[in-house]
Amino acid sequence: MNTKLILSIFIVVLSGCTSQQITISSSIPVPLVVSNSDLRVTSYFSANVTDYQFLSDDLEKTNNSWQINFQDTQKSIFTIIVNSFFDNNDISDNFDNIPENSTDLIMGITLESFEFLTPQITSNSKYSVWMKYKINIYDQKKDLIQNWSITGYGEQLTGSFEGNDAILNAINIALRDVGANLTIKLENDMQELLELVK
Amino acid sequence: MIVLNKNLIIVFTALFFISACSTTRIDEEVNAAYSIKEGDSIVLLSDSYHTGNKTENDFMDCLNKSLLKKQNQFNIISTNKFQDIFYPWFEPSTAPQKIDDLPKLLNKEIIKNKFDQLQIKYLIKITGETKTNASSGALSCAAGPGGAGCFGFAWWDDTSSYEASIWDLSQETSIGNLSASVSGTSVIPAIVIPIPILARTQSNACVGLSDQIGDFFSK
């Protein structure tokens, strides 16, 4: 019995498999933009934005498996951005629950892809993270008027970071980049949006 | 036996205090007239990794801290604080990369007003990185029931090369360029105990560049 136990422990140690668990709880500053108080906006988020948990089975398997719990971080970040542009922003559970003509503009946000590379995969000393979101914009009749792709990228050298801090930082940078790119897109296309919902 | 130990201690102590050799080169170029008064602020911002720049975060931290310590003529707004205040306009993927990109940003009233409110007069764009050019040697360590120890000799050459381009926000022009390049060889001899003799090229470049920035504005 003892021999079997020792052998099992030995095999587990030899295989070198580890499971990395990360919880994301970052935020972004309130964007420096001019807000609009005339427009009524309603936002809704897909399930993979409100509470996303990434498991590395989705990617090519390496010796390490990853569990990344985003909690509601993505939703909070998008809410900060939309609130900074529109004083009257409501949040709905889903698209179907929003009555027609109850709002001037509807924004639906979905996570399309989350990818990352580790130093182990690329044989360099940095973590790289990509995120891509689809943003559908509808008018008060719930007709689709715009369809945007917003991406974010973050990289972090392992350097003096301990444990999972380097990948955590790369994810936080990527989320911050998503926020920056959405803000710039909204800023650049605001006039066109206002024309479309007139 | 005691004499041998004493000699060893002297050798190791001497090695500990020997710093590795390094060479520093500093350049300065002034393009336009400038002035800074008490209360004005400057900001250091590294070029984006989206454009291939690899300026390390710890170099930016060192430069911010070093400038803050060395002078009290003007205010320094730390890079992170500046990026948070002006989010998202000076993020790696959105910050102006060339001086020509600046007017478009400053035409936005909300951004211009914030610059005025914080009295930010100059933006200093930092580029560059620390690279290891060559390395050689071998160092091996072993541990046993009787103790542990290392034996061997390893060395590497580092070059830390950084540039600072100073942008005048009111004139929307680059008023000067500064650079600091430090090369050095680090060695680790090991006879039982490894003794790293490091050429601190990055921290020397940080000191060199912060001195230059301080001097530039004190003229």
Question: Model confidence over B33-65: pLDDT tens digits?
Answer: 778 888 899 999 987 776 677 788 889 999 999
Provide the pLDDT confidence category of residue A14 given band limits of 50, 70 and 90. Answer: very low
pLDDT at B64: 93
In a domain, A189, yes or no: yes
Mean pLDDT of B176-199: 90
Minimum CA–CA partner of B80 in chain A: A29
For A82-106, how does the pLDDT look when each residue is reduced to its tens digit (9 = 90+)? 999 999 999 999 999 999 999 999 9
Decide if B56 and A160 are in contact by the 8 Å CB cutoff. no
Shortest Cα distance from B66 to chain A (angstroms)?
Answer: 20
Q: Is residue A184 part of a domain?
A: yes
Q: State how far the Cα of B113 lies from the Cα of A131, in Å rounded to an integer.
A: 33
pLDDT at B87: 96
Enumerate the residues of chain A whose CB falls inside 8 A of the CB of residue B88.
Answer: 31-32, 179-181, 183-184
> Which residues of chain B neighbour A32 with C-beta distances below 8 Å?
85-89, 110-111, 114
- Interchain contact A12–B (C-beta under 8 A): no
Average pLDDT over residues B20-30: 80
Which residues 29-68 on chain A approach chain B with CB closer than 8 angstroms?
29-34
Partners of A157 on chain B (C-beta within 8 Å) are 56
| Res B178 pLDDT > 90 | yes
**Dihedral class, residue A34 (left if φ above 0, else alpha if ψ from -120 to 50, else beta):** beta
Q: CB–CB of B87 and A32 under 8 A?
A: yes
Model confidence at A61, pLDDT cuts 50, 70, 90, reads low
Pairwise CB contact (< 8 Å): B88 & A153: no
**Does some domain include residue A16?**
no
Residues B83-117: tens digit of each pLDDT = 999 999 999 889 998 899 999 999 999 999 999 99
Q: Strand A126-138 and strand A144-157: pairing?
A: antiparallel
Chain B residues within 8 A (CB-CB) of chain A?
A: 49-50, 56, 58, 84-89, 91-94, 110-111, 114
How distant is the Cα of B51 from the closest Cα of chain A, in angstroms?
13
Domain that holds residue A84: 36-46+72-196
Could you tell me if residue A15 is inside a domain?
no
Inter-residue contact B126 to B46 (CB < 8 Å): yes
Cα–Cα distances in angstroms (integers) from residue B176 to residues A59, B72, B82, B121, B210, in the given order: 48, 21, 22, 14, 14
ipTM field:
0.84
Give the up-direction half-sphere exposure of residue B30: CA atoms within 13 A in the CB hemisphere. Answer: 10
Q: What pLDDT score does A17 carry? A: 59
Q: What is d(CA B9, CA B197) in angstroms, rounded to the nearest whole number? A: 16
CB–CB contact B93 A160 (8 Å): no
Residue B50 token pair: 């989206």
- pTM value is 0.83
- Number of domains observed in the structure of chain A: 1
Residue with tokens 């929003």: A98
Among B91, B92, B110, the residue with its CB nearest the CB of A33 is B110
What the block records as the tokens of A72 is 């509601």
For residue B88, give how far its alpha carbon lies from the nearest alpha carbon of chain A (Å). Answer: 5
Contacts of B53 in chain A (CB under 8 A): none
Tokens of A24: 């994301």
Tell me what pLDDT residue B147 has: 86
Asked if A153's CB is within 8 angstroms of B56's CB, the reply is no
pLDDT at A71 over 60: yes
State the CB neighbour count (10 A cutoff) for residue B26. Answer: 15
> Per the domain annotation, does A52 fall within a domain?
no
Per-residue pLDDT for A107 more than 50? Answer: yes
How many other CB atoms are there within 10 angstroms of residue B22's CB atom? 19
Check B58 against A159: CB less than 8 A apart.
yes
Of residues A69, A70, A75, the one with CA closest to residue A107: A75
Q: Given CB atoms, is A27 within the 8 Å cutoff of chain B? A: no
pLDDT of residue B145: 86
Q: Which of A32, A157, A181 sits opposite B93 (nearest CB)?
A: A181
Please report whether residue A173 resides in a domain.
yes
Q: What is the pLDDT of residues B131-172, one digit of tens each?
A: 988 888 898 989 888 888 999 999 999 999 999 999 999 989
CATH of the domain at A127: 3.30.160.150
pLDDT band at B212 (very low <50, low <70, confident <90, very high): very high
* CATH class name, domain B2-218: alpha beta
**How close is the nearest chain A Cα to the Cα of B109, in Å?**
9
Report d(CA A92, CA A105) in Å as an integer: 12
Closest residue in A to B87 (Cα–Cα): A31
- Statement: residue A12 has pLDDT above 80: no
Region A172-188: mean pLDDT is 96
Residue A163 falls inside a structural domain: yes
Across the A:B interface, residue pairs with CB atoms under 8 Å apart total 43
| Cβ of residue A157 closer than 8 Å to a chain B Cβ | yes
More confident residue, B26 or A113: A113
Contacting residues of A for B58, CB less than 8 Å apart: 159-160
Tokens of A29: 């500053």
Task: Judge: B85–A29 Cβ closer than 8 Å, yes or no.
Answer: yes
Is residue A70 scored above 80 in pLDDT? yes
Task: Give alpha helix (H) positions in A64-164.
Answer: 73-85, 119-122
Is a pLDDT exceeding 70 seen at residue A9?
Answer: no
Residues B86, A153: C-beta atoms closer than 8 Å: no
Identify the three-state secondary structure at position A127.
strand
- Residue spans of the domains in chain B: they are 2-218
**CB distance A13 to A57 below 8 Å:** no
Element (H, E) at B122: strand B120-144
